[in-house]
Amino acid sequence: MDNHNTRRNFLKTAGLALGCLGLAMPERVFGSGGKVLDADGDTITLLTPGGQLVKVEKSKLKPAEMPSLTENQKRGREGLPNRSWVMVIDLSKCRNARKCMAACQAHHQLRPEQHHMNTLQMQDAEHTAPYYMPKNCMHCDNPPCTKVCPVNATFKRSDGIVLIDNERCIGCRFCIAACPYSARVFNWFEPRDAEKYKDVTYNIEANVPQKKGTISKCLFSADLLRVGKLPSCVSACPNGVYWFGDQNEDAVTNGTTKETTSFSKLIRDNAGYTLMKELGTKPRVYYLPPKNRAFPFEGEIQKHE
């Protein structure tokens, strides 16, 4: 996924994106550069799919058609064609800045104690060096969680993403028990900002608005991938920890430097590995070992009692 591609995809889907995002979270549209080029008083300058700049009166702006819930659910189950998403997390770069966690919680409307992305302080054995490890859903190719779901509310898409339909989930929490990576969270109470978003149509590709009594977890920001953007955590990282891309193209893009490189080469040159490979879950999230650390480990390793 290079920059050109990103831009073209953006142009193609700009209208839809504005519609979706505009309805769900207006502050994101107006806050991020590139789409709204200038906004003063009553008019707003927009970039059309044809590449022209146009001025439009704000009062004339209408949100684009949101896909209906049924259509959204159907589209969300299929996945993006010919894609095979992978994430690479470079542990030598992480300094526990937690910008990924914050961006993720904002995007998915999570409570402070709910983490789709959680930066853990790890120590593999008694005398080994501690390190920080961002941990999200591994989007396993042999997912233990989707197998046990009694209602097919969590499922594996063709593009590799393991997704949840919160309008179908019955809240049995069998998937939490089944997941060895503790990747899943539950809405034990009314979700954050439930009142604010109560009229917003549910989007299966972001799990928003969150639904009480159902499961939520990392979705690789499937809604952003659809409009050609990187997942929230990947773009938010200030330290170049995350690489994200398409295994079919063998290309991953760094969320901080926007540099694009070969996925297989990155994994080969840096001895990439997956978490708990012995469980046979086949994760789509790869780790690069915490070697030649860019930052020292600060803090105290938590005793796991």
Partner 1 sequence: MTNNLTPEESRQKLDKIFSDLTRSLKIKDELARFWIFILAMFTIVGLWGWMHQMRIGLGITGMRDYVSWGMYIGNFVFFVAVSLIGLLISSILHLLKFDWGQPISRVAETVAIAAIALAGLVIVMDMGRPDRFLNIFLHGRFASPIVWDVTVITTYVTISALLFFIPLIPDVAMLRDRLGDDVPILQKKLYAILSLGWKGNARQFEIVTHTVRILLVLIIPVGLSIHTVTSWLFASTLRAGWDSTIFGPYFVTGAFVAGSAAVILVMYVYRLRYDLDEYFTNKSFDMMGKLLVLMCLVYFYFNINEFLVPGYKMRLAEGVHLRELFTGRWSTLFWVVQIFGVIIPILLPLLRYFRRPLPLTLIAFLTLVASWFKRFIIVVPTLEHPYLPIQNVPENFVHYSPTAPEIMITLLPFFASAIIITMLAKLFPVITIWEYAEKQGIDKKYLLEEPEK
Provide the binding-site residues for partner 1, judged by CB under 8 A: 101, 113-115, 118-122, 135, 144, 147-153, 168-174, 176-178, 180-182, 184-190, 212-214, 276, 279, 281, 302, 304
CB 56 → partner 1: shortest distance, Å?
A: 43
Q: Which is nearer to partner 1, 36 or 122 (CB)?
A: 122
CB 76 → partner 1: shortest distance, Å?
A: 15
CB 49 → partner 1: shortest distance, Å?
A: 38
CB 176 → partner 1: shortest distance, Å?
A: 4
CB 146 → partner 1: shortest distance, Å?
A: 8
- SS3 state at 20: helix
Q: Which is nearer to partner 1, 186 or 197 (CB)?
A: 186
Q: Which is nearer to partner 1, 55 or 147 (CB)?
A: 147
Instruction: Say if residues 229 and 6 touch (Cβ distance below 8 Å).
Output: yes
DSSP states along 214-238: SEE---TTHHHHHTT---HHHHH-S
DSSP states along 128-158: SPPEEEEE-----SS-HHHHH-TTS-EEE-T
Token code pair at residue 293: 């650390």
Instruction: Say if residues 10 and 226 touch (Cβ distance below 8 Å).
Output: no
Q: Which is nearer to partner 1, 22 or 290 (CB)?
A: 290
Q: Which is nearer to partner 1, 176 or 200 (CB)?
A: 176
Separation of first and last alpha carbons in the chain:
43
Parallel/antiparallel/unpaired status of strands 185-186 and 162-164: unpaired
CB 172 → partner 1: shortest distance, Å?
A: 6
Compute φ and ψ for 262, nearest 5 degrees.
-80, 130
Token code pair at residue 266: 């990155």
Element (H, E) at 57: strand 53-57
Q: Which is nearer to partner 1, 144 or 240 (CB)?
A: 144
